Structure formats: C-alpha cells, structure tokens
Homo-oligomer: A and B are copies of this chain.
Amino acid sequence: MKEMRVAMATPSMEDYVEKIYELIKSKGYARVSDIANELNLQPSSVTKMVQKLAEAGYIHYERYRGLVLTPAGEMLGEEMKDRHAMLSEFLRTIGVPEETVQVDVEGIEHHVSPSTVRCLQDLTSFLRENEDVRLALAAHRRQRREQEAAEEKAQERADA
C-alpha cells in the first residue's frame, strides 16, 4: 500500500499552504500578490491554486479579512513549518553548508513521505542528544575528505 500525504495535499499544494501560513504569521494576512511574489509566480496561477486549496478545505476567503486558513490548513501549515525546521537541522548537523541547506530543504521537503519524515526526526533527535556520535561522524567525514584530496593529488601526479 502506498503512503498517502497528509490530507492528500500535493507537493505544490503543500508549498502554497506553507507560504500562506508564513505570510499570515508574519504580516497578519496573505494577499494573492504577496503569494505570487514569494513563490515567483504569476498572480493568475496563484488565483487558480487558491481555488483548488479552498475546494480541498485548506483555506477560505472572508470579506475584509481576505485569505484565512481553515483548521486543516492551519495544521498542514504548522506541519510544513516543523518539517522545514527539522530538515534544516538535519542537513546542518551532517555538515551541509548553510547556503545549500536552505536551497535543498526547499527542494526535498515536499517529496518525503510521512514515514521518512518520522525516521529523519528520529535520526535528527538521536544526533542532537549524542554529542559523541556527532563528533565521530565529523571525524569520519574529515578522514574521507582527506583521503579524497590525497587520491586527487596522486591522480594529478600520475597525469603529469
């Protein structure tokens, strides 16, 4: 049996709900033009997706207040925020440079099934709680990089 994503949101629905959630938390509201700006899309595409999200039960439109997350949308937004934070912590912990962490988290966060998210959560909390393992991993990484550098040098000498 294949796993279902939370409430069957597609990766791009997740992306939208994540952005709307962030906008509402930071600015108090989420306008179609703000969402379009943040996601680098045409307002017309955003309007189409906003309709889909409303049909799926994640948002609704209120006169005066504008876009509002339903309880289901609020839950999904919270989940996306936690997932984003967990994946960032995980990549940072294993040594990925900060500028790459942000790019890659955006790339992978909507392509991980619930059971993968849970296993990565377990791994991340395991690494957080065990400094000795983190240090052993860092030493292992250093050793592999030094070996790689030595092999490259040997190759260069052989080529010369």
Contacts and interface: CB of A to CB of B under 8 A. Distances in A.
B120 A113 contact: no
Nearest to A129: B140
Interface in A85-112: 91, 94-97, 99-100, 103-104, 107-108, 111-112
Interface string A127-139: 0011001001100
Interface in A9-64: none
A116 interface: yes
A76 B121 CA distance: 31
A11 to B, nearest CB: 8
A91 B100 CA distance: 21
Contacts of A111: 104, 107-108, 111
Q: What bracket does the count of chain A residues touching chain B fall in? A: 20 to 34
A103 B2 CA distance: 9
A3 interface: yes
B140 A119 contact: no
Contacts of A100: 3, 113, 115-116
The list of the 8 closest CB pairs from A to B, nearest first, reads A107-B111, A122-B141, A108-B108, A126-B140, A94-B119, A95-B119, A100-B113, A108-B111
